[in-house]
């Protein structure tokens, strides 16, 4: 088995299979040798009943598919979480940038908005570049559809596009998921 790239960026639409591929990367990492760890940094925030149920279902399904994958919930301080969890023997999965950016740009009630979301994204990219072990980052590719009507949605689409470009520049491998099929955009075989 080939060694994991230092950083892989997996993009795709909703339900394209990007999280499943990231989980496969973690499963393969764990199976490749004793003493390895895999940690998933989950950025989703359970603000309503549907999201709570979705998160619970994902936890259960993930545990069945990837035994030994540890989960850390971090909806806001993503760069710090990557720095904290990264180690040479640990593969870190970030799932996903889209939810993280949502909380940065449109924080839930009671949360203080971050003054500079672009700076927060740069901090995440710096943490990815400095990671001492492999990292797999998941994000949505949402810029392929129609142009959103409202300014807040256009702002979000633009911000995610800029963040995705910065993460792709840091990543050794970039993979686009289309209908469950991985298409390696840069960095060799998937």
Spot the catalytic one: 6, 36, 37, 58. Answer: 58
Would the annotation count 162 as a binding residue? Answer: no
Say whether pLDDT at 50 is over 50: yes
User: Average pLDDT in the 17-35 region?
Assistant: 96
pLDDT in tens, 101-112: 998 998 888 888
Boundaries of every domain in the chain: 7-185
Would the annotation count 180 as a binding residue? Answer: no
78 is catalytic: no
Would the annotation count 60 as a binding residue? Answer: yes
pLDDT in tens, 55-74: 888 888 988 899 999 999 99
Return all residues near 167 (Cβ < 8 A) that are at least 6 apart: 9, 97, 124, 125, 128, 137, 139
Q: Note whether 175 and 8 are within 8 A (CB).
A: yes
Place of tokens 């971050």: 114
CA-based nearest residue to 26, from 121, 133, 178: 133
Would the annotation count 73 as a binding residue? Answer: yes
Domain 7-185 has CATH 3.10.580.10: no
Q: Cα separations (Å) of 165 from 144, 158, 180?
A: 14, 11, 22
pLDDT in tens, 128-184: 999 999 999 999 999 887 777 888 888 899 999 999 999 999 999 999 999 999 999
């Amino acid at each position: 088995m080939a060694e994991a790239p230092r950083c892989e960026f997996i993009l795709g639409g909703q339900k394209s299979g990007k999280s499943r591929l990231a989980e496969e990367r973690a499963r393969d990492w764990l199976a490749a040798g004793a003493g390895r760890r895999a940690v998933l940094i989950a950025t989703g925030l359970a603000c309503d009943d549907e999201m709570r149920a979705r998160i619970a279902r994902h936890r259960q399904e993930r545990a069945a598919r990837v035994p030994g994958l540890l989960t850390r919930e971090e909806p806001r301080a993503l760069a710090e979480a990557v720095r904290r969890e990264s180690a040479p023997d640990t593969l870190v999965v970030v799932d996903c940038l889209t939810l993280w950016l949502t909380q940065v740009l449109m924080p839930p009630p009671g949360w203080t908005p971050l003054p500079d979301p672009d700076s927060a994204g740069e901090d995440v990219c710096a943490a990815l570049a400095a990671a001492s072990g492999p990292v797999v980052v998941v994000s949505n590719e949402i810029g392929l559809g129609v142009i959103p009507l409202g300014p807040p949605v256009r702002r979000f689409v633009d911000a995610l596009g800029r963040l995705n470009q910065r993460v792709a520049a840091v990543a050794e491998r970039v993979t686009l998921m289309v209908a469950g099929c991985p298409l390696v955009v840069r960095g060799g075989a998937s």
